[in-house]
Amino acid sequence: MDRSVTVPASVSLESFLLAVRQRLWLIRLAEAARTLLWYAGFILLALAAVHLLITAITRSSIFAIVGSVALFLLLRVARQRPSLAQCAAHADRVFSGHALMTTAVECRHLSKSASGFATEIVLRQADDAAKSWTPEISQRLRQSHASRTVLATIPLFVALVLLSLPGVEKGIDVDRVTPVSAAQIAAGSGEGLDRGTGDVAALRRIIVDESSANARPPGEQQSATALLAAQSDDAETVTELSTAPGQSGDLGGVAGLAGDDGDLPGNAIARSTPADNSLTASAFIQDRESIELQRTGPTFAAGRKSGTDYSTGEPWELKSSFLIQAAAVPESLTHATILSRAQAAHARLYLGGPGKDND
Amino acid sequence: MTEQNENLASVMHDLNALETQLNSVLVGQKKLIRQLLIAIFAGGHVLLEGLPGLGKTQLAKALAKSLGLDLGRVQCTPDLLPADITGSEILLSGRQGAGELQFRPGPVFANLVLVDEINRATPRTQSALLEAMQEGQVTCAGKRHVLPEPFWIIATQNPIELEGTYPLPEAQLDRFLCKLLLPYPAADSLDALLDTSLDQEPVDQLQAVCTVERTRELRVAAQQVLVAKDVRAGAINLVLATQPDSEYSSAAARQHIRYGASPRALLSIIRAARVRALFEGRAHVAFEDLSALAHPVLRHRILLHTGSELEGHTENTVLDQIIKEWVQANP
């Protein structure tokens, strides 16, 4: 056997491998994009959960988090430049090369010291194969990754849906909120409420669920229906309430309610259910009683008050809890005040700024 | 065509001519003949297992004749002694009447030795072959006697007769590069057999295709076939996949195998893969070569749990699972 080997110039092999590298890099970039979509989907889901249950998350922070992940993935792809050996192995897989390219790449570096007939043969065969395979690179590599494209649409769809949700909320026209009539509320289901998005936007910010306790004075227990019906003429718009004195303009969260005709304060129920836009309100009201709310969680505020009814002498206790959509909660939510009918035409619940008495 | 390409072409031509000639003698066993030639040119010994009458002895004879090799033959029986294989020193009378010990070589001193029904020989006799198979020499009366080069052993055994047989120990099995199974020929092959062998012995008609020197050149050519690092890694993974305690072991190995393939198996499969690549017209080894040769090279090197054997698992079925996993990992 001839021990000296003249290695043929393998321009085709080099250009073929470089073309494969370029395609492989693009494929990895596409895979990174797909990964990013998946990550973005999960991140948005997680952030939505955090936003609803723990604390408000601004849109800019969402973009920052997703952007950081994207940057990380891009940097990782940029750092992991496919080596020629990896390109050769990939080409062998895609073109059924029987490890020809892999062997040829190793031969290329060892050729000067290599001996035997095999080195030259492998390089020549690889060169010939490279010439015939080069026109098919794009097609073959695309075929080998085609199946993953379908999968990529799943996170894309999820991400798009999630990304569209804030847009829907932003599109709500708060100014279009219509007054809530007591009669409508009295219907119980809230069907009389304006089902426009404005009501929902304003009302769903706060769900007032006042569960008056067992010690509520019996004489003062009037139905929300009666109370609100009595106030139907004076009913204020939710918009007015939401921009009540002492509150910042972007602070939502008002549940309007009314006292009764007599001296005694009454009950009112305020409850917003975004699903059907209904509103009911409830609050046990004494004359000029206010309840100081404490934040019991990122999206909850609760208040509790007890006393003795001045007419019957029976003890009463008022518990109020507020479930508040995180985005609408100001950092300093602390107070709610209940006004009796003796003081104002309406009993109102205000949520206001720090330390302010929002009556 | 360059000189190197001519080299490859001539190697392929000789190998194909040899294969064609053997196929004409033992019809219907193309796969077996290919594997036998691979083992021979990889420099390994072959264990042929098959039922009586399938042509094991005829195949060995045909191979020796086609390669122009000396054929030695040992018919193993329980009373066969090691010296009957290796040879022994005998006392010869000298010219002045003085006795002189002289080594008389046994049948193992041939290029190709057919050890027929090796499992009928006692373990002591079987072990006499160990040194010959591994080191290419025998030691008699403290003297080392080198065996001729090239040297191959083709041993046959009958899988159905267990009475009066001594199964080969693992150490000896490991020294065979391949264990080949001789299946029944198909119907059309039997018809062709009648044409070729009814009234004549086809082996007698054979002419040598290669000389001993050319046989050596073919072996050297096989040694020059390139093995890429990825392929080497694949071979290593394949061997380790059969070892139940290895971190690379396959699920089938952990479940069914008591002892896996040895490092000698790795050498054997790479050597065999090189020859297979030449048969396929390549000067480099591919993953396909490894998977194609996994059965003959590994089947006698793994030991199954008794429970698995009782459940009906065999070395071949377990290897099927291992190779399937391995192919998925090395697409």
Report residue B270 CA to chain centroid gap. Answer: 14
Cβ contact A93–B331 (<8 Å): yes
* Residue B140 binned pLDDT confidence (cut-offs 50, 70, 90): confident
Q: Which residue has the higher pLDDT, A207 or B215?
A: B215
Q: Burial-class residue A81 by CB neighbours within 10 Å (0-12, 13-18, 19+).
A: exposed
Contact A281, A255 (CB under 8 A): yes
User: Cα dihedral sign for B13, B16, B20, B21?
Assistant: positive
Inter-chain touch A118–B3, beta carbons under 8 Å:
no
pLDDT at B294: 94
Q: How many CA atoms lie within 13 A of A300 on its CB side?
A: 9
How high is the mean pLDDT of chain B? 88
By mean pLDDT, which of A304-308, B165-169, B192-196 is the weakest? A304-308
Does B5 sit within 8 Å of A124, measured CB to CB?
Answer: yes
Question: Which tokens sit at B276?
Answer: 């297979």
Instruction: Please tell me the distance from the alpha carbon of residue A125 to that of residue B146, in angstroms, as a whole number.
Output: 42
Q: Residue B257 in 3-state DSSP?
A: strand
- Asked if B230 lies within 8 A of A102 by C-beta distance, the reply is yes
Nearest Cα residue in chain B from A111: B226
Answer yes or no: do B7 and A1 touch at CB < 8 A. yes
Long-range contacts, stretch B239-245, CB < 8 angstroms, 24+ apart: B239/B263, B239/B265, B239/B266, B239/B269, B239/B298, B241/B322, B241/B325, B241/B326, B242/B298, B242/B301, B242/B302, B242/B319, B242/B322
DSSP letter, residue A219: G
Closest CA relative to residue A92, chosen from B211, B150, B45, B234: B234
Across the interface, of A2, A93, A119, the residue whose CB is closest to B3 is A2
Min CA distance, A12 vs chain B (Å)? 19
Is B177 in contact with B272 (CB distance < 8 Å)?
Answer: yes
Do the Cβ atoms of A99 and B7 come within 8 Å?
no
Are A120 and B287 a contacting pair at CB < 8 A? no
**Nearest CA-CA distance, residue A40 and chain B, Å:** 30
Confidence at residue A164, expressed as pLDDT on a 0 to 100 scale: 64
Size of interface A-B (CB pairs under 8 A): 72
| B196-222 average pLDDT score | 85
User: How far apart are alpha carbons B159 and B176 in whole angstroms?
Assistant: 17
pLDDT range class, residue B231, cuts 50, 70, 90: very high
Question: Quick one: which of A171, A343, A207, A177 has its CA closest to A280?
Answer: A207
Q: Which residue of A has its CA nearest to B280?
A: A98
* Chain A residues near residue B227 by CB distance under 8 angstroms: 103
Contacts of A334 (CB under 8 A, 6+ apart): A292, A293, A294, A295, A352, A353, A354, A355, A356
Is omega for the bond preceding A315 within 30 degrees of 0, making it cis? Answer: no
SS3 state at B106? coil
Mean per-residue pLDDT, B99-121: 89
Tokens representing A95 are 């073109």
Rounded distance between C-alpha atoms, residue B86 and residue B323, angstroms = 39
Q: B331: which chain A residues are within 8 Å (Cβ-Cβ)?
A: 93
**Would the CB atoms of B4 and A121 count as touching at under 8 Å?**
yes
Mark yes or no for CB contact B283/A121 under 8 Å: yes
DSSP characters over A219-268: GG---HHHHHHHTGGGPPPHHHHHT-TTS-TT----EEE---SSSS--EE
- pLDDT at A320 (0 to 100): 59
Segment B248-261 mean pLDDT: 91
Interface of B with A (CB under 8 A): 2-5, 7-8, 220-221, 224-231, 282-288, 331
pLDDT of residue B203: 82
Yes or no, beta carbons of B8 and A121 under 8 Å apart: yes
Count Cβ neighbours within 10 Å for each residue of A108-133 and write b for 16 or more, e otherwise: beebeebebbbbbbbbbbbbebbeeb
**Cβ–Cβ below 8 Å for A1 and B220:** yes
**Higher-pLDDT residue of B194, A319:** B194
For residue B283, which residues of chain A lie inside 8 Å, CB to CB? 117-119, 121-122, 125
Could you tell me if A186 lies within 8 Å of chain B, comparing CB atoms?
A: no
Q: How does pLDDT run across B300-325, given as a tens digit for each residue?
A: 999 999 999 899 999 999 999 999 99
Q: How many residues does chain B have?
A: 331
- ∠ at Cα A229 (A224, A233), nearest 5°? 135
**pLDDT surpasses 70 at B99:** yes
Chain B neighbors of A122, CB-CB under 8 A: 226, 283-284
Instruction: Give me the interface pTM, i.e. the ipTM.
Output: 0.78
* pLDDT of A260: 36
Q: What is the pLDDT averaged over residues B117-124?
A: 90
Q: Which residue of A84, A98, A100, A128 is the best one to mutate when testing the B interface, meaning the one whose CB has the most B CBs within 10 A?
A: A98
Question: Across residues B268-294, what is the average pLDDT?
Answer: 93
Q: Would you state the pLDDT for residue A113? A: 53
Under DSSP, is residue A69 helix (H, G, I), strand (E, B) or coil?
Answer: helix
- With H, G, I as helix, E, B as strand and everything else as coil, classify residue A155: helix
- Contact, A147 vs A128, CB < 8 A? no
Residues 6+ apart with CB under 8 A from B10: none
Give the model's pLDDT for residue A232. 35
- Lowest model confidence (mean pLDDT) among A35-44, A276-285, B73-82, B240-249: A276-285
What is the band of B265 on the pLDDT scale with cuts at 50, 70, 90? very high
Distance from CA of B322 to the nearest CA of A (A): 21
Counting as low any pLDDT under 70, the low residues of chain A are 1-10, 109-116, 142-153, 155-156, 158-160, 162-311, 314-359
Name which of A1, A98, A119 is nearest B226 (Cβ-Cβ): A119
Instruction: Report the residue of B230, B327, B328, B330 to disrupt the A interface, i.e. the one with the largest count of A CBs within 10 Å.
Output: B230
CA angle B256, B261, B262 (to 5 degrees): 150
Please tell me the distance in Å from A153's CA to the nearest CA on chain B: 27
**pLDDT at residue B295 tops 90:** yes
Candidate from B226, B287, B288 with C-beta closest to A107 = B226
How many angstroms away from the CA of A140 is the closest CA of chain B?
A: 16
Query: What was the pLDDT predicted at A124?
Result: 85
Contacts of A100 in chain B (CB under 8 A): 282, 284, 286
